[in-house]
A = this chain, B = another copy of it.
């Protein structure tokens, strides 16, 4: 991991006010810049400049642009880079089940957290929605599919996103019964094979180029 004197925790102990101010300023600046420019258009440099801090602080506090977006805009209850790394460590066997288990346990931990707000954002037509779309597909699922090196990688990320968003809709937004109250392993057993096929299986596209 990081050395002790460079960690956010160490900084927090040593000079909490300045550090927390930097972090808060970056979050505020990030929300503005991502909203104005979308995920792709926003640069770490522009966000840091808006916050009046050095661009290195983005890596220091958030691990980079993805982590900053995840915390500032999506308010995700997890670090996407760590999540992807952990999922891939187990290899391809059972990856679909692990993705479903990770998705459900993470969101369950905050009772759905910001998921309904994310959905409302996706259903609107603002820049944040475009940023969210790029982020989910390219920067979370894209990382996973890149490692698998299957055919049709973009369609595979999209298919996974469609089922994962559907899980969130059914469990946290529409709250279908029994889906909303089902234990995690029931959903993993039922939906894991779907994600596994979307990630590594035959998509049946025999007529495709």
- Chain A residues with CB under 8 Å of chain B are 116, 119-120, 122-123, 129, 132-133, 136-137, 154-155, 157-159, 161-167, 169-170, 173-179, 182, 185-186, 189-194, 197-198, 203-208
Contact = CB atoms under 8 A, between A and B. Distances in A.
Given A133-B174, A133-B176, A162-B176, 4 more contacts: A129-B174, A137-B177, A158-B176, A193-B197
A163 B163 contact: yes
A115 to B, nearest CB: 9
A169 B176 contact: no
A116 B116 CA distance: 14
Nearest to A205: B189
A182 to B, nearest CB: 7
A173 B137 contact: no
Contacts of A205: 186, 189-190
A190 B159 contact: yes
7 contacts: A116-B123, A119-B123, A161-B166, A161-B174, A162-B163, A165-B166, A192-B204
A170 B129 CA distance: 12
Question: Residue among A173, A176, A178, A203 with the most chain B CB within 10 A?
Answer: A176
A170 B178 contact: no
B169 A162 contact: yes
Given A162-B179, A163-B166, A167-B162, A190 B174 contact: no
Nearest to A189: B204
A179 B166 contact: no
A176 B161 contact: yes
Nearest to A207: B185
B198 A159 contact: no
Nearest to A176: B158
A190 B155 CA distance: 9
A208 B123 CA distance: 36
Contact of A119 (B119, B154, B155): B119
A170 B157 CA distance: 11
